[in-house]
Amino acid sequence: MTTYNVYEIYTKHPISGEGAWDIMSVIAFSEEDAATVKGFDKVIYKEGSMSNSKSAVIASGLAVTEAVYKSVYGVAA
C-alpha cells in the first residue's frame, strides 16, 4: 500500500542560496523523497500521513515530489 505523507520543509533562496528562506508543505513518500524538491534545505517536521488515495493528493493542491507525481499520474512531470 502506498502512503502519501505531508512534510513541512525549508527551502533555500533561489539566488543567494540562503537556507531557511521559505517554508512550504510538500507531499512525499519519505524525508529522503522530500529532499528531492528543488531548493530543498531541510525538513522541519512531518505533518502526518495523508492516505493512500490518489484523488486526495490531487485535491490537496499541495506541492508533490517527482516520485509522488509519477505514482499519482503514471508519468514523469
* Residues whose CB falls within 8 Å of the CB of residue 73, separated by 6 or more in sequence, listed in order: none
Range of the domain at 67: 4-73
Tell me the C-alpha distance between 70 and 48, whole Å.
21
Number of domains in the chain: 1
The per-residue pLDDT for range 44-66, each reduced to its tens digit, is 999 999 878 899 999 999 999 99
Supply the pLDDT for residue 9.
98
Rounded to the nearest 10°, the torsion over CA 27, 25, 41, 2 is -10
What is the overall mean pLDDT for the chain?
Answer: 94
36-47 burial: b if 16+ Cβ within 10 Å, else e:
ebeebbebeeee
